[in-house]
């Protein structure tokens, strides 16, 4: 595909890895992050300079900073710019983009379901969820092309159904990992059985993430709280059944009782 010019705002774990992926695919990348050690050949000294040559602007800062960042870039944008956020939750960021950029500035929400670790390991397939704006269907098409060119499988969903799905997967994975870390479980894996390996990988992945990611995933996803509550209730139910049930067959994990939803 034709090389494009990207400006990445936020050069942390994800922004740096994404910059590398884009550069390796032949795109040109400029970065603005006042708090990170950005390589000299990528760094712009001001936000204005960073946006001057860009076609695509990638918002790769913590979700909690996104709304303010959108407002800061808005006066500097024209119809030749397109924006994508890469936030790990989608309802809030997509809503803010609709409010702040509306029909005037094209935008699309994205959630790359990969991170620096999986990129470094070269894990495939890479999946990306796109949440398009009704104002800008062409921008979603263009973003799809970009990601497909980066060897990503692209799925288009609306922000609410994506966050709902993540509430039962991403949210619970981080929630369980957080509890295990707080309990000091997973520190010594010398005799951990193979059945624990999946959890151990999950703990390692979560430990390497920025602290704000845990809070964003748990607090900014509007469906997270209900999912955690259902999970905690179910743990209590399973615990109680183990105390009270004398028929081991009825406790079998291979024959789950009816889903509670």
Residues that bind ligand NAD (CB under 6 A): 9-15, 32-33, 35-36, 60-63, 65, 69, 86-88, 112, 115-116, 209-210, 212-213, 216
Q: In DSSP terms, which residues pair with 107 in a beta bridge?
A: 83
Cβ 191 to ligand NAD, closest distance in Å? Answer: 30
In the bound complex, what is the minimum distance in angstroms from residue 78's beta carbon to ligand NAD?
19
In the complex, least distance from residue 63 CB atom to ligand NAD, rounded to whole angstroms? 5
**Which CB sits closer to ligand NAD, 116 or 222?**
116
Residue 193 CB neighbours (<10 A): 7
Torsion-angle region of 184 (φ positive above 0: left; ψ -120 to 50: alpha; else: beta): left
Residue 139 to residue 141: CA distance in whole angstroms: 5
Q: How far apart are the C-alpha atoms of 70 and 92, rounded to whole Å? A: 12
Nearer to ligand NAD, 84 or 140 (CB): 84
> Which lies closer to ligand NAD via its Cβ, residue 47 or residue 199?
47
- Single out the residue of 35, 45, 40, 49 nearest to residue 5, CA to CA: 49
Q: Which residues pair with 140 in a beta bridge?
A: none
At closest approach, how far in Å is the CB of 35 from ligand NAD?
3
Q: Minimum Å distance from CB 93 to ligand NAD?
A: 8
Distances, alpha carbon 238 to alpha carbons 180, 254, 256, 259, in Å = 18, 14, 11, 13
Return the residue nearest ligand NAD (CB atom).
12
Going by C-alpha positions, the residue among 208, 17, 200 that lies closest to residue 122 is 17
Nearer to ligand NAD, 44 or 180 (CB): 44
In the complex with ligand NAD, which residue's Cβ is closer, 178 or 230? 178
């Amino acid at each position: 595909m034709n090389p494009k010019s990207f400006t990445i705002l936020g050069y942390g774990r994800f922004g740096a890895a994404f910059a590398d992926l884009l550069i390796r695919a032949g795109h040109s990348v400029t970065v603005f992050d006042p708090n990170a050690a950005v390589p000299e050949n990528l760094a712009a000294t001001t936000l204005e300079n960073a946006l001057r040559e860009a076609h695509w602007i990638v918002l790769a800062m913590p979700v909690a900073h996104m709304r303010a960042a959108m407002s800061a870039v808005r006066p500097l944008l024209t119809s030749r710019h397109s924006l994508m956020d890469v936030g790990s939750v989608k309802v809030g960021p997509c809503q803010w983009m609709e409010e702040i950029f509306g029909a005037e500035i094209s935008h699309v929400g994205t959630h790359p379901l990969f991170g620096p670790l999986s990129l470094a390991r070269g894990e495939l397939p890479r999946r990306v969820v796109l949440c398009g704006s009704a104002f800008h269907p062409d921008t979603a098409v263009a973003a799809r092309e970009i990601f497909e060119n980066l060897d990503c499988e692209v799925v288009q969903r609306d922000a609410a159904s994506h966050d709902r799905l993540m509430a039962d997967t991403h949210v619970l994975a981080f929630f369980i990992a957080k509890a295990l870390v707080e309990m000091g479980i997973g520190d010594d894996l010398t005799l951990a059985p193979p059945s624990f390996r999946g959890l151990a990988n999950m703990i390692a992945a979560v430990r390497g993430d920025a602290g704000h990611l845990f809070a964003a995933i748990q607090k900014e996803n509007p469906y997270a709280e209900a999912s955690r509550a259902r999970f905690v209730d179910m743990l209590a139910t399973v615990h109680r059944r183990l105390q009270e049930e004398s028929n081991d067959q009825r406790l079998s994990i291979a024959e789950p009782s009816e889903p509670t939803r």
